[in-house]
Chains A and B, each alone.
Chain A
Amino acid sequence: MKFNNTIPIYIQIMNLMIEKIVSKELKKGDKLKSVREYAIELNVNVNTVRNAYGGLEGKGIIFKKRGIGTFVTEDINIIEKLKSDLSLSVVNEFIMKMEALGYTKEEILKRIEAI
């Protein structure tokens, strides 16, 4: 994976994992790779992946079981919330781009319906 070096890499890894969880590539309760394995796979520093895991854990998206590993949350509400937040930001970005092209809300809706 190619990272954007102007944004902290741990944030990019968090976003990558959130996308995987929302798209169900990683399912609820799935065991995650160890920090070390994932760092080697992504070819980034171990501490960077540790920070990303820490950030996701802080948000309740993943959780640690002592001595066993790290897992995706079992709480479907958290995953649904992530999905809705993510879709909202995609829609917002889309609307911004369309408005920049001079479309009004009504025209945007019409444009979507025409597809």
Chain B
Amino acid sequence: MITKIENLNKKFYNKQVLSDINLEIEKGKIYGLLGPNGSGKTTMMRIVANLIKNTTGNVEVNGLELGKQTKNIVAFMPTSNFFPKWMKVKNAVDYYNDFYEDFNREKCIEILKKVDIEMDLKIKSLSTGMTEKFKIALTMSRNAQLILLDEPFSGIDIIAKEDIKKLIVENLTEENATIISSHLIDDIEPILDEVIMIKKGQIVLNENVERLREEKEMSIIEIYKEVFLNV
């Protein structure tokens, strides 16, 4: 097991954003964290990445309490484009290389080559799809054991989607786990092992996708609609 979340709660002022989250994340699997906008997906990822504090509850990564050490185990890719305007691809790669001890420069260069992103390009000149691939390349080139991708598919074309899915599938080993948050379920169904549905800060479903298909004879997107339309 790579992560264990127990009775996690998060409040922003008076607003309860996450309530009583209990979750175990195992190595060697790809998880889909699904829910509409504002359901708490990003907040949960940011807590596990130790970027914000939880209000109550316990989160362990690799048996360690959240802290400096776990930050080195978790790689989080935010939705925002976080690079300064002047930066070229190669500057960002160098920056990551300096900043993260576990960064594998060769791996990054290899992935960038695979998705046709040249080192001399200015980051702001990249299309939305290219930017997303670039962010994923950087995130995955860290030798992290838990990879958190926040909405890697939003606003990109189908070809870029296929490339990104391929990168995610290729990157999975017995020693790491990936959590992908998304509200675009159709696209990611075939690459998921497990699905976690989150509604208004609560987990409403946590199951193996193949078992779900077997039991309900429904696709995940149909189940998703059932869960979220029945208010």
Question: A residues near B, CB below 8 A?
Answer: 3, 5-10, 39-40, 42-48, 51
B166 interfacial by beta-carbon distance below 8 Å: yes
Q: Is B88 an interface residue (CB 8 A)?
A: no
- 11 A-B pairs with C-beta separation under 8 A: A5-B190, A5-B221, A6-B213, A6-B218, A7-B213, A7-B217, A40-B170, A43-B162, A43-B169, A45-B172, A47-B28
Query: B interface vs A, CB < 8 Å?
Result: 28-30, 162, 165-166, 169-170, 172, 186, 189-193, 210, 213-214, 217-222
Structural contact, B190 and A9, CB atoms closer than 8 A: yes
Q: Most chain-B CB neighbours within 10 Å: which of A7, A8, A10, A44?
A: A8
Q: Which residues from A are CB-within-8-Å of B221?
A: 5
Q: Of the candidates A8, A39, A40, A43, which one forms a contact with B210 in the assembled complex, judged by CB atoms under 8 Å apart?
A: A8
Q: CB < 8 Å: which of B170, B191, B222 contacts A44?
A: B191
- B220→A5 contact, CB < 8 A: yes
Q: Which residues of B contact A47 (CB under 8 A)?
A: 28-29, 193
- Is B169 a contact of A45 with CB atoms below 8 Å? yes
- Please name all residues of chain A whose beta carbon is closer than 8 Å to the beta carbon of B186 when the two chains form the complex: 5
Interface contact B213-A45, CB-CB below 8 Å: no
In the complex the two chains form, what is the Cα distance from A46 to B191 in whole Å? 8
Known: A8-B213, A45-B30, A47-B193. 5 other contacts (CB 8 A): A5-B190, A5-B219, A9-B210, A43-B191, A48-B193
B189 near A40 (CB under 8 angstroms)? Answer: no
In the complex, what distance in Å separates the CA atom of A51 from the CA atom of B222?
Answer: 23
CB neighbours (8 Å) of B165 from chain A are 43
Report the nearest A residue to B174, measured CB to CB: A46
A45 to chain B: closest residue by CB: B191
Residue on B with the closest CB to A46?
B172
Closest chain A residue to B165, Cβ basis: A43
B192 touches A45 (CB 8 A): yes
Q: Is the CB of A40 within 8 A of B29?
A: no
Inter-chain contact A40/B166, CB cutoff 8 Å: yes
Q: Which of A42, A45, A48 is most buried by chain B, counting CB atoms within 10 A of its CB?
A: A45
List residues of chain A with CB within 8 A of the CB of B219: 5-6
